[in-house]
Every structure is written in structure tokens, then in C-alpha cells.
Amino acid sequence: MSVTHAPQLRLLHVHAHPDDESSKGAATTAKYVAEGVEVMVATCTGGERGSVLNAKLQDDPEVWKNLAELRRAEMARAREILGISQVWLGFTDSGLPEGDPLPPLPEGAFGLEDPVVAAGRLVKVIREFRPHVITTYDEQGGYPHPDHVMCHRITVEAFRAAADPHLWPEHGPAWQTAKLYYHMSFHRRRYEQLEALMHEQGLDCEFPTRDEDPFSYGRLTTFVECSEYFPVRDEALRAHATQIDPDGPWFAVPLAIQQAGWPTEDYQLAISRVPTMIPEDDLFSGLRPDPLVPEFMI
């Protein structure tokens, strides 16, 4: 009688820029890595047109001169902290044009790509890594940055195309990923709970008001309890020194209040090819062996 062990689960996060993997879902990542899940991040751009958001570094000319190299080095450090593998898809950062009228995106920017064509690079990653679950942003990019919106578009397209053996045959055998999720942790219900606990402790806190779409609590399906790994998330965030001020608003709410007030990272299940029940507490719901069935029977 042979014993069949469950295959190793694999999770792919698709993000627009280096630092997004640490600001969105990083505690979930750390939790699954600790459980033995293989986690990969696909980073669409190098973040080379991003701003220096850490006020302590904004006046350093060396930072601006070497921003692309610095952001790669920061990503390497965050990757090490999170215990993940990571690939660069090689698209060019769009920057974030502002003004009225809104100026056009620079030529060659990721936000101007044809998503059907651009998805080919991600199809290759999916077929080689063969994830059971993929995460990305919602249809508005989480917030309307052109690279985040395009990241959503190519991920949805690649999720579909990777499973079709007639598309991108040069990228290897077709692979059907079981589930696609959108990161949705920046929603008003979470902010309200953290604000209330801060005020109970006599601390000042007021989060910016957000529209209820796309940050609506009603869209959430999946709540991953990962508060034990909030310190790992914060360490990964601090690795992105050009983007995150360690004394800034990302860390304004004490860790203990975050863990008590909202101990989950939250997602919307967009596509599932396996049966599952909503609400979920696990991105791999429907994919794990039945605990009531002995391994030798699986």
C-alpha cells in the first residue's frame, strides 16, 4: 500500500512595481511561505519612473541618479525577507502623470501596452511556475495608476491564455490555474475599525476617505488571518527605503492595534475553477486534501 502525499501548493502574485509585493498581501505571503507554500512574485516594471516618496531621501541626488538600480536592490532585500522567488517581466514604468488636462503617458510605457500581447510574458511565467492561485489588483488597479490597471488587464488575460494550448505554444504546455484573486485590503471597514481602536487608546488617527467602489467591503470574499506575520510585512516594506518612510503614515498605527483591530488581509475571489464556499479564510480553499480522507486513499 503506497502513501500519496499532497503536492506542494504554489502561489503567484502579479504586481506593477517593486514595493507593491510588500504593501499588498505581504503578511499573507509570509504566512504561506512559513507553511511550505512556494510563492513567486512577478513584477511588471522596474519602478524606474517612480517618485522618491521617503522625504528623508528626496534631496539626495545619488538616489535620483540611481533610482532604477536602488529599486532593484530594495526588491532583492524584500524578496529575501519574505522568502519568495521573483521575476521581472521587463515592462517600462509609466510614471504617474498628473495635471489638468492629464498629460499622455510616455512612449513605450507599460500603461500603453496591448494587454493581449503583453500577457504573453506572464503566460510564460505561469506555464513554467504552474501556480494553483494567482493574485493581482481589481479592474481599477486598486487605485487608478496606469501600471496597476494594466497589471490587472494582463493578469486576467494571462490567466485565461495560459490554459489554452492554442495560444502562446512557444511558452510551453498549457496550465490551468485554479483561482484568481484581487487584493482588497484597503477598504473603509478596516480603516474605521483601526480608527476606533486608536481613539480608544487616546491616539490621533484619521485615514483618508475612499469611495466605496472599488474598496467596498461588500466585494470581499476571503479573509486570511495573518496578523502573526505583520512584523515580516513591515520589515519587507522598510526594505523599500526610497518608497517608505519608516516614520511615516504606513506605520502610524501601532502593530498591536493592527493585530487586534483587523488581523486579516482581504481578497475578492474573481475566478475559481474549483468548488469553494464563501466566505473563505484560505486562498487555497478547495485545493487542499480533505482532512477527513486518509492520505493513502487520496
Count CB atoms within 10 A of the CB of residue 35: 9
Q: Is 20 annotated as a binding residue?
A: yes
Q: Which of 251, 249, 242, 246 is nearest to 53 (CA)?
A: 242
CB 127 within 8 A of CB 171: yes
Q: Is 17 annotated as a binding residue?
A: yes
**Nearest CA-CA partner of 22 in 238, 215, 229:** 238
100 is in an annotated binding site: no
Pairing of strands 179-183, 222-225: unpaired
Contact 106, 95 (CB under 8 A): yes
Q: 228 is written with which cell numbers?
A: 502573526
What does DSSP say about strands 38-45 and 10-15: parallel, antiparallel, or unpaired?
A: parallel
Q: Which residues are annotated as a binding site?
A: 17, 20, 148
Binding site residue list for Zn(2+): 17, 20, 148
